[in-house]
Amino acid sequence: MISITLNGREQSFDVEADMPLLWLIREEAGLRGTKFGCGIAQCGACTVHVDGQAVRSCMYPAVAAQDKQVNTVETLGSKDAPHALQTAWIKHQVPQCGYCQSGMMMAAAALLQNNANPSGEDIDVAMTNICRCGTYSRVKAAILDAAKEISS
Amino acid sequence: MSMTRRMFVFGGAAIGGGLALGVIGLGTHLAVHDRLAVQREGNGKDTLLNLWLRVNQDNTVTLLSPHTEMGQGAGTGLTQIVADELDLNWDQIKLELAPPSTEFSNGGVFEGFIGEMIGKAPKWAEHIASNAFNRLADVLNMQMTGGSASIRFTGWNIMREAAAAARQMLINAAIDKHSASANTSTDSGFVVDGDNRWSYGELVEHAATLAVPEDYVLRSPSDRKFIGKAMPRHDLPDKVFLKTQYGIDRYVDGMRYAAIAHSGVFGADVASIDNLDEIIAMRGVLAVEKMGLSVAVIADNPWRAEKAVKALKITAASHENSDISSASIESFQRQSLQGELSDAHAVGDVTSVQDGTGETIEAEFWVPYLAHATMEPMNASAWMEGNKLHVAAGVQNPLYVRAHAAKIADMDIENVVFHAHSMGGGFGRRVGFSMSEDNPIMWIDEVVTLVKKYQFPIKLTWSREADTRQDVYRPAILANFSAQLDENGKPSYWKSASYGSEGGAPAAMTPYNIGNVQVQFANHPSPIPVGFWRSVENSQHAFFNESFIDILAEKAQTDPIAYRLSLLNKDDDHAKCLTEVAKLCNWQHGVSDDGKAMGVAVQKSFGTMVATVAEVSLQNNKARVHRVWVVTDSGVVVNPDSATAQIEGGIMFGLTAALYGRCDIENGGVKQSNFHDYPIVKMTEAPIVKVKLLQSDNIPGGFGEVGVPTIAPAVANALAVLGKRLTRLPINA
Ligand code: FES
Ligand code: FES
């Protein structure tokens, strides 16, 4: 049994220690906002927060999350109470196919938590997610915008 | 309105009291049939989902799509077109997407439709019908991303026709019912005659009883309120707030999960599983199934299934492909280019000048196979409900896939329900057919076969490795070029021969004014599955042609833009875009003080002219692209922001191919497997892209694909200025 606090609720899962957090989240907990892209920590589609830090859940063994706070993209915000990043994402019309974007937004949210005022270069370094549709310039513009919004 | 002759407008009886109108374009085969009440009570949801336009009693208009995902802004563009043609306010137009749980079947409706029209549908009509519907399916999915001629034709003309016909019907309803005058017109959702105003909603019921008019007129460009504006995309809030359901997100109760291993050799069956007992004993594993080309493991969690697949030891049956490699394919192509060639294009007579005195310049180009690498790997779910088979997936042509699933399941198509999901990228990967007659949608076959046997619901997800290694690839092409320069440095002839099908001919034509041109192809069946990859043949041929013209400019010691312009008519749209892009980037030929150089390329595809300049430097002998400028000329631009986004994305897609993209063939399979050895450009490497859209009144050109072709030659041409002329891709090999 592995106990984690998933999106604020303590839960136990009867899974192998080496089951990646991604598959626990998507299939055991049924939260499908977190995406599978590569399974080898290359693309970032599966990004979630463990104790506030962005991790690539496809290579993060469930046991490593034992007794930790795991937050998925479902906690980011909603239409009625959007996160500043979500507002900026719409303003800049960021997504194309959209598949990578929940991972993008989670990586960006962690970045802003660590660095409320990132430079373009900080963003380049922090945002190593893959977007096959090539939305990078808009992702960057949206993060800069959201940072401004949060700090104002 | 000559286009009218090439489509059906059908309309009539109300659905929920609304006026429903559909239009079906059938190429040039069939004439107009303007009064076809195909939507009947009792025909149910199936029918509804095939209608394109519904004027509702609450004075809104719904654009209906049988798809859940309209692709890259296409749905929004279509609503812009309809809102303008029907004279609506923005809040009156709704885009309705079939929820993934809703059953839809285009085929049944079309049979009904044809049946109404000519009695029983003959075989030939069925064929045309299903083709037309496949095309419509593509339109609705791919308007901005697809952009082939039929798509642009359908999107721009047919949608507008439907809206124009609807507007005229509403006007006619006011004339018929309220004796409105001949001067009756419309104003933002109202039919207006002097001081009399009737909302569309009030008129729809009567309008639905009238015949679809043949004498409607399209509104003039000056009446447009939305076409040409950066209207926000309808699909983005759902994507940002996680309401979008991709195929991989499908879940039904009792679902089990399958993972797959292919034999590793294209075309070869799996001969044996060498550790079956070990696999069966793994936690969660429910079944192992050998299915010809592949083995599936079914488990209670996708990771357990995939873990078991990774532990599988399988042997491929011996196959004639087992020995092929990139090297053997390349030498076969080289040999073929020495053999018999077909003429695709000829101007003047190359042989008459070939022995001239000028210097002969030759080049051989090579581009490798490329996987699509959509962000969401291939996947599909299937389950039985009673005697019906349900299949859920994100595909570019759902109708085709539904028919295909029925064939695999050996069931009547009526008993197969297809659920269309959003796609995490398409780029031509999720089309049901390929160039080489290989089956690109094997994952549908696999999941259907499994569900038929095991009866419980199954979701099959290909690993990234399976996705990379079992694609229908962009074809690898070898090409030979030669030319001779006259005393003015202009080519006296231009000759090219490329491996590949003549389908690539339009992309391979040189746009330059050269007296003697010969464009030839050599083609043989491909042992490697090849398919439609974003921009299709244009990405390879733009690289060849635009590199070669640059090589000639270099030999002639002329500025590459000036050289191109000297070979183009002043009013040619290549010249126009080249001139504009030179201005936009403040064009400099040569190496800058900080070691950067610019390179240029131009290519027209899918109705859109694109001229691109890339600014490149060499860092540790690797190309680094700093800035990119793009000028497009594409007629009417329906949504400039979506268009710009597509160009930005196309540049990144093309840049990935230019810098890194290669699928090497080894022992009959693809060597690369995942993003570590098939890398995608990331944010740190992403250049700043500046896009300028030139517009005219011409029909809209495509945007989804056209950003791709020019970036590789532009980067290669810039590298040549830095002293490194590359004729093989990828650049940072
Ligand atoms: S799926 Fe985890 S990084 Fe790609
Ligand atoms: S929006 Fe499609 S992969 Fe990023």
pLDDT tens readout for residues B330-375: 999 999 999 999 999 999 999 988 887 888 999 999 999 999 999 9
CB–CB of B69/B394 below 8 Å?
yes
Encode pLDDT of B249-296 as tens digits: 999 999 999 999 999 999 999 999 999 999 999 999 999 999 999 999
pLDDT at B72: 61
Nearest Cα of chain B lies from the Cα of A51 at a distance, in angstroms, of 22
Kindly state whether residue A15 falls inside one of the protein's structural domains. yes
Kindly state whether residue A78 falls inside one of the protein's structural domains. no
Q: Residues with beta carbon inside 6 Å of ligand 2?
A: A 95-101, 131-133, 135; B 375, 425
Question: Could you tell me which residues come within 8 angstroms of residue B723 by beta carbon, excluding any fewer than 6 positions away?
Answer: none
Nearest Cα of chain B lies from the Cα of A34 at a distance, in angstroms, of 9
pLDDT at B8: 41
Same domain, A10 and A47: yes
Please choose, from the candidates B355, B533, B320, B508, the residue with its C-alpha nearest in 3D space to the C-alpha of residue B430.
B533
Centroid of ligand 1 to alpha carbon of B352 (angstroms): 59
Tell me the residue length of chain B: 733
Q: Which atom of ligand 2 is nearest to the CA of B425?
A: 2
Distance CA A135, CA A100 (A): 10
Name the one residue in this structure whose structure tokens are 């937050």: A71
Distance CA A136, CA A118 (A): 16
Last residue of a domain, one of A73, A98, A115: A73
| SS3 readout for B244-285 | CCEHHHCCCCCCEEEEEEECCCCCCCEEEECCHHHHHCCCCE
Q: Number of C-alpha atoms within 13 angstroms, CB side, residue A135?
A: 28
Is this complex's ipTM strictly greater than 0.90?
yes
Strands B314-316 and B185-187: unpaired
Same domain, A102 and A49: no
Nearest Cα of chain B lies from the Cα of A151 at a distance, in angstroms, of 22
**Helix, strand, coil percent content, chain B, rounded in steps of 5:** 35, 25, 40
**pLDDT tier at B105, thresholds 50, 70, 90:** very low
Q: Is the pLDDT of residue B17 over 60?
A: no
Centroid of ligand 2 to alpha carbon of A45 (angstroms): 9
Mutation target among B233, B260, B303 for the A interface, most CBs of A within 10 A:
B303
Q: Point out which residues pair with B272 in neighbouring strands.
A: B315
For chain A, the domain total comes to: 2
Kindly state whether residue A131 falls inside one of the protein's structural domains. yes
Same domain, A48 and A110: no
Nearest Cα of chain B lies from the Cα of A43 at a distance, in angstroms, of 7
| SS3 readout for B468-524 | HHCCCEECCEEEEEEEEECCCCCEEEEEEEEECCHHHHHHHCCCCCCCCEEEEEECC
For chain B, domains (ranges, CATH) are 33-238 (3.30.365.10), 247-318+373-463 (3.30.365.10), 536-549+559-733 (3.30.365.10)
Q: Enter the tokens of residue B631.
A: 């000028």
Kindly state whether residue A79 falls inside one of the protein's structural domains. no
Inter-chain touch B241–A19, beta carbons under 8 Å: no
Please choose, from the candidates B617, B614, B588, the residue with its C-alpha nearest in 3D space to the C-alpha of residue B601.
B614
Encode pLDDT of B2-13 as tens digits: 333 233 444 444
Encode pLDDT of B627-683 as tens digits: 999 999 999 999 999 999 999 999 999 999 999 999 999 999 999 999 999 999 999
Inter-chain touch A79–B235, beta carbons under 8 Å: no
Of the partner residues B232, B374, B645, the one whose CB lies closest to the CB of residue A132:
B374
CATH of the domain at A62: 3.10.20.30
Instruction: State which residues form the domain around A67.
Output: 2-73
Distance CA B673, CA B463 (A): 10
* Residue to mutate (ligand 1; options A19, A24, A26, A38; most atoms within 8 A of CB): A38
Distance CA B646, CA B145 (A): 7
Q: Chain B window 690-719: which residues touch A at a Cβ cutoff of 8 Å?
A: none
Same domain, A49 and A7: yes
CB–CB of B379/B462 below 8 Å?
yes
* B244 lies within 8 A of chain A by CB: yes
Distance CA B157, CA B635 (A): 13
Centroid of ligand 2 to alpha carbon of B375 (angstroms): 7
Ligand nearest to the CA of A132: 2
Which whole-number Å values give the CA distances from A65 to A57, A60, A70, A75, A114, in the listed order? Answer: 10, 8, 7, 17, 20
Distance CA B569, CA B574 (A): 9
pTM here? 0.91
* Residue to mutate (ligand 1; options A21, A32, A43, A131; most atoms within 8 A of CB): A43
Inter-chain touch A130–B235, beta carbons under 8 Å: no
Burial class (CB in 10 A: 0-12, 13-18, 19+), B343: exposed
Q: Which atom of ligand 1 is nearest to the CA of A59?
A: 2
Inter-chain touch B682–A78, beta carbons under 8 Å: no
